[in-house]
Amino acid sequence: MKPENKKDSLFDLIKSLSPAEKRNFKLFVNRLEANQEAKFIRLFEVMDKMAHFDEKELLKKAPVSRKQLGNMKQHLQKQLLISLRLLHAEKNVELELNEQIDFARILYNKGLYKSSLRLLEKAKQMASQFHLDTIMLRVVELEKVIESLHITRSMRNRADTLSQESQQLLGHVTRKNLFSNLSLQLYGLYLKTGYVKDEKDRQLIEQFYRQNMPKYRIRELSFYEKMYLFQAQVWFYHIIQDFPLCYRAAQRWVDIYMEEPQMRKVATGNYLKAYHYLLDTLFYLGYYERFMQVLEEFKENLETDDFTMDDNCRVLAFLYYFSNTINLHFLMGEFSKGVKEILPPFNKEIKKLKGKLDVHHQAVLNYKVACLYFGSGDNLKAITYLDEVIKRTGDGLREDLQVFAHILKLIASYEAGQDEDLEKQIRNVYRFLVKMDDLHQVQKEMMVFVRSLGKIYDYELKQAFISLRERLKPYENHPFEKRAFLYLDIISWLESKIEGRTVQEIIQEKFRENIQKHEK
């Protein structure tokens, strides 16, 4: 194995540090005179300068033997994490609260019970402000320990009050877990299989949803319970392709952050995701004006001075903003403009995030970029990006994304005039699709058409395109088939072939007609 392909968690941690975090670490470890010549500091300096992890090179330059290396790396990682915690504690509510609870435990162990309780009360008030029920439960449990072992006389009926608090918090935590479990299971199902393909699929997912949805009264739910409830609803309506109800659930998800803006500070990732799925659903519904309004709102919120993000959230913000900006160009049919204006900053940013995007999101972005190139007429570039999606077969990607990547590659290859490989491609894709066993009708019609391309004479092509368009038209509003046209606007492509125009000309014309219709 090549050195650059090896993975090392400590090396990855060091490479993820910002210049400010590195400076803070050096100040932190050098605060003690004994540390100034320590071997673990030299180990850090050597690893920081390495372009890729190479253990042999590391042992040559760092003052440690192979036998010492394991323990030295563990010690270095611990010191790095401590310095990072100290640096970020004031910016991260949960880190700060956990620190306060640790301090309260130290005071309690020193026999300073009242001081400990005062600190716990302050921590509880902050945790309550941010609806951090699990942390509040930790606080209450420590308060119960102190009150049960020592008569502090902090308040009358203290035992009853703490007992009631504990029961109430347990109820919130239990319901939150039920909602979050359902949300996660639905999301996992969506990532694996995509959308329902027939009535049987729909009935199965509805049964699963109903059986696992806990009983609730919306007014009694805490912030996190509502958040996971609306998440579960979004995934469910997404899977069954009920986009109007999905839009309502996504809007409610965003709205809870509008009602309690302080929650953006602690549930930032889910805040970004709420906006993403609201935009995603507006795109599927074709609500251009509302989409533009929400996208601008999302952009303004990202740029607000009081809105801070950690590395994970910066990755999500990049992913969601670019993904929806590409969707905007899809809506308007501005593929060439998208290639020119979006892709240069996109490619610059994506290089910085190498290794931080998961396989699924990489594939979704690659598919979207491929569609931009395909719509702009650059079929060879489209094929390059589609190959990145196709090679991920078996990595747990959505099966429908894989299917459309294969079909779009065939069309792009046909458009690019790669006739010599087309027959072989068709056979390979057909074998792949046969294994799927549950293709949409649109996909089946496409495969029959593509398989026949090699047997159609040039003068017969226009009629073949017209015939396929007529067969596909009835599926545009079909409850289980309409989603296919959002992966690939095959109708517009067929119309472009029939009329001898570009795909983007066709889509731009449809977009203008839609706008005029809504204005009336």
Q: Which residues contact 421 (CB under 8 A, 6 or more apart)?
A: 413
Cβ atoms of 303 and 334 closer than 8 Å: no
Looking from the CA of 482 toward its CB, the CA atoms found within 13 Å total 13
**So what's the pLDDT on residue 1?**
39
* Torsion sign, CA atoms 246, 247, 250, 252: negative
Give the integer Cα–Cα distance in Å for 182 and 421: 45
pLDDT score, position 277: 94
- The angle, 0 to 180 degrees and rounded to 10, between the axes of the packed helices 199-212 and 223-239 is 170
Q: What is the chain's length?
A: 520
Task: Give the pLDDT confidence score for residue 438 in this predicted structure.
Answer: 59
CA–CA distances in Å: residue 214 to residues 218, 287, 465, 497: 12, 32, 50, 52
pLDDT for residue 395 = 52
- In contact, 90 and 99? CB cutoff 8 Å: no
CA separation for the pair 358, 123 (Å, rounded): 35
What pLDDT shows up at residue 2?
43
- The predicted pLDDT at position 455 comes to 77
134: number of Cβ within 10 Å = 14
pLDDT at 179: 95
Q: How far apart are CA 511 and CA 328, in angstroms?
A: 11
Domain boundary assignment for the chain: 3-88, 93-154
Q: How many CA atoms lie within 13 A of 19 on its CB side?
A: 0
- Rounded to two decimals, what is the model's pTM? 0.81
The pLDDT value recorded for residue 30 is 81
Helix (H, G, I), strand (E, B) or coil at 166: helix
pLDDT tens, per residue, the chain with 520 residues: 344 446 788 998 998 888 889 998 988 888 765 665 678 888 898 899 988 888 888 888 888 888 888 898 999 999 999 999 888 877 888 999 999 999 999 998 988 988 999 999 999 999 999 999 999 999 988 888 887 776 555 555 777 788 888 888 888 899 999 999 999 999 888 777 678 878 888 999 999 999 999 999 999 999 999 999 999 999 999 999 899 999 999 999 999 999 999 999 899 999 999 999 999 999 988 899 999 999 999 999 888 877 778 888 888 998 999 999 999 999 899 999 999 999 999 888 888 777 778 888 888 899 999 999 999 999 999 999 999 988 876 555 566 788 888 888 888 888 888 766 777 777 777 777 777 655 678 878 887 887 777 677 777 888 888 998 999 888 888 887 877 777 778 888 889 989 989 988 999 988 888 777 766 5
2: left (phi over 0), alpha (psi -120 to 50) or beta: beta
CA distance to 124, 126, 209, 296, per residue, from 225 (Å): 19, 19, 16, 28
User: CA 6, CA 484: separation in Å to the nearest integer?
Assistant: 40
The span from the CA of 371 to the CA of 383, in Å, is 10
Residue 260 and residue 291 in contact, taking contact as beta carbons nearer than 8 Å: no
pLDDT value at position 443? 77
501 conformational bin, left if phi > 0, alpha if psi -120 to 50, beta if neither: beta
Largest Cα–Cα distance in the chain?
A: 96
Instruction: Report the alpha-carbon distance of residue 112 to residue 168 in Å, rounded.
Output: 28
Q: Do 444 and 484 contact (CB within 8 A), yes or no?
A: no
Please list, in sequence order, all residues whose beta carbon lies within 8 angstroms of the beta carbon of residue 278, skipping any fewer than 6 positions away: 247, 250, 251, 253, 254, 294
Residue 211's Cβ-count burial label (10 Å; 0-12, 13-18, 19+) is exposed
DSSP 38: -
- Give the model's pLDDT for residue 424: 77
Cα-to-chain-centroid distance, residue 205:
22
